[in-house]
Amino acid sequence: MNKKIVMVSGLPRSMTTLICNILANNKNIKGGETSGLLELMYASRANYSSSSEFKSALTEEIMHESFLNFCRQGMNGYADIICKEKGAGIYLDKSRGWLHYSEFLREVNPDAKIIVMVRDIRSILSSFEKKWRENPSILDSRDIPSQQRFITVDQRVNEWLSQPPLGLALQRLYNAHQTNTLENMLVVRAEDLCKNPKDIMEKVYKFIDEPYFEMDYSNVKQMTVENDRISDFGIYGNHTINPDVKPLKRDYDEILTSSLASSVKANYKWFYEAFNYF
């Protein structure tokens, strides 16, 4: 039996792990760890687009629908196995890539729901900087003295804004904003989730067409398990939640300096206007 599939995407350090765990406290929802499902579909798309066997097919229309059904059934099978243990009816898949490949996803599964987490860019950068300071014994590969590019806070901010995970995620978010594909998704600000979790989760459940699940937001159980030591983003990844959902601290003026924080806001005017950050 096919499961309802909900995707969680968005910016790093934007409470994607938190919202996944809040949802996974509902016994009818399973999943929420960083997932490779998109990578399987992405690889299939690459082969479908470039393999001579597909290019030589005379029944191109049928072949295209067969490919989409292959992805559709594969996605359903992937979700079925993960949900099987608890008999859950909803599969939760977390990947920042869904934001960018949402139209491909909709070809495969028109009913898929995508939740996009965002957070003030200055706060994300502040979080990165704090993680860098907290881990002096772990080398960031960009910290090469001879290149003199990762020495100051300003330099580190520039690197984070131009490279994955944040730089890539911002570019994808900007594209979704430009192309209006965000209109089919639910954008959730991390600050709102942490300040008013019940109100936000009521909107989330309405978006995924499910009854609201009542729970204690001062005691959110950790349902997902991830190994941050093998993460692609090392010290900047943290997938352990605080069980007590509280408003986020706004410390970017202190951590980044107010002048650098102001510069970031000026350079990303589109973001602050699109998501009502002032």
Tokens 């996009």 belong to residue: 116
**How would you classify the pairing of strands 29-34 and 113-118?**
unpaired
Domains of the chain: 4-274 (3.40.50.300)
- The Cα–Cα gap between 21 and 222 comes to 6
Task: State how far the Cα of 203 lies from the Cα of 200, in Å rounded to an integer.
Answer: 5
**pLDDT attached to residue 55:** 82
Q: What does each C-alpha distance from 246 to 23, 93, 197, 270 come to in angstroms?
A: 17, 25, 9, 28
Q: What is the pLDDT along the chain (278 residues), one digit of tens a residue?
A: 578 999 999 999 999 999 999 999 999 999 999 999 999 999 999 999 999 988 887 788 999 999 999 999 999 999 999 999 889 999 999 999 999 999 999 999 999 999 999 999 999 999 999 999 999 998 898 998 899 989 999 999 999 999 999 999 999 999 999 999 999 999 999 999 999 999 999 999 999 999 999 999 999 999 998 877 655 567 888 889 999 999 999 999 999 999 999 999 999 999 999 999 98
Tokens of 270: 């589109």
pLDDT at position 228, please? Answer: 72
pLDDT in the model for residue 232: 52
pLDDT at 225: 87
